[in-house]
């Protein structure tokens, strides 16, 4: 699943900080993948960024070698439920010493070569909200979340962003 060159433990790299780029391919747009990456990187104390591209998702992370290795494992093993990671290309980069982690604006370069995610039936969490009279989404006919709802039927272009769906003209609800 992973391809690319990895640096062997004990090599001449800076033992305190490493930076790695992950190019993730498969059904990784419109499935909550960028927020998942953000949370995972934050939990591990990593800096860097994530963005949708015409080919999938690009991630750069920097931190301790152990944290970066753990991030790479979680990227595949703990991906969102409706994501389908087909493959990951890893490459080592020079450490920059950055701070913070950001979700960057999508990059649209050339023809899209990524897979659009399918429409997904309502998930158990949304179904529970719709059935709960105390929930603000009680009896809401269009309840969806990052794990369910329309994707393929509302997308107008890739990379997948709200602005490239038929939802672009509607304001987002407050969380």
**161, part of any domain:** no
Residue 111, pLDDT > 90, answer: no
Residue 5, pLDDT > 60, answer: no
Whole-number average pLDDT of the chain: 88
Q: Which residues on adjacent β-strands are paired with residue 27?
A: 84
Residues 142-172: tens digit of each pLDDT: 888 888 999 899 988 888 888 888 988 988 8
HSE toward the beta carbon, residue 3, CA cutoff 13 A:
9
Residue 12 banded pLDDT, cuts 50, 70, 90: very low
pLDDT value, residue 164: 86
Residue 7, pLDDT > 60, answer: no
Residues 28-43: tens digit of each pLDDT: 999 999 999 999 999 9
Rounded Cα distance, 64 and 119, in Å? 38
The Cα-based distances of 50 to 55, 58, 95 in angstroms read 13, 6, 16
pLDDT value, residue 15: 62
Q: Which residues of 133-162 are buried (b: 16+ CB within 10 A; e: fewer)?
A: eeeebeeeeebbebbbbbbeebbeebbbbe
Would you put residue 153 in left (φ > 0), alpha (ψ -120 to 50) or beta? alpha
Residues 79-102: tens digit of each pLDDT: 999 999 999 999 999 999 888 999
DSSP 135-158: STTTT-TT--BTTBB-STTTB-SS
Q: Enter the DSSP assignment of 172.
A: P
pLDDT value, residue 11: 40
**111, part of any domain:** no
Q: Supply the CATH number for residue 41's domain.
A: 3.30.70.100
Residue 124, pLDDT > 90, answer: yes
**25, part of any domain:** yes
**163, part of any domain:** no
Q: How far apart are the first and last CA of the chain?
A: 35
| Collapsed DSSP state (helix, strand, coil) of residue 124 | helix
pTM: 0.79
- Residue-number span of the structural domain to which 27 is assigned: 2-6+15-103
> What total of structural domains would you count in the chain?
1
DSSP 25-37: EEE-SSSSHHHHH
Residue 4, pLDDT > 80, answer: no
Cβ atoms of 34 and 159 closer than 8 Å: no
């Amino acid at each position: 699943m992973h391809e690319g060159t990895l640096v062997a433990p004990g090599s001449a790299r800076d033992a305190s900080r490493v930076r790695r780029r992950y190019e993730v391919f498969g059904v990784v747009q419109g499935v909550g993948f960028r927020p998942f990456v953000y949370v995972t990187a934050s939990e591990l104390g990593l800096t860097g960024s994530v963005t949708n591209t015409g080919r999938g998702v690009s991630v750069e992370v920097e931190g301790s070698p152990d944290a970066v290795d753990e991030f790479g494992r979680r990227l595949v093993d703990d991906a969102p439920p409706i994501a389908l990671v087909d493959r990951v290309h890893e490459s080592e980069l020079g450490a920059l010493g950055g701070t913070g982690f950001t979700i960057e604006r999508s990059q649209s370069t050339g023809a899209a070569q990524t897979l659009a995610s399918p429409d997904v039936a309502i998930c158990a969490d949304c179904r529970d909200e719709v059935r709960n009279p105390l929930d603000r989404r009680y009896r809401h006919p269009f309840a969806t979340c990052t794990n369910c709802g329309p994707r393929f039927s509302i997308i107008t272009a890739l990379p997948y962003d709200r602005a490239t769906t038929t939802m672009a003209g509607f304001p987002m609800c407050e969380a």
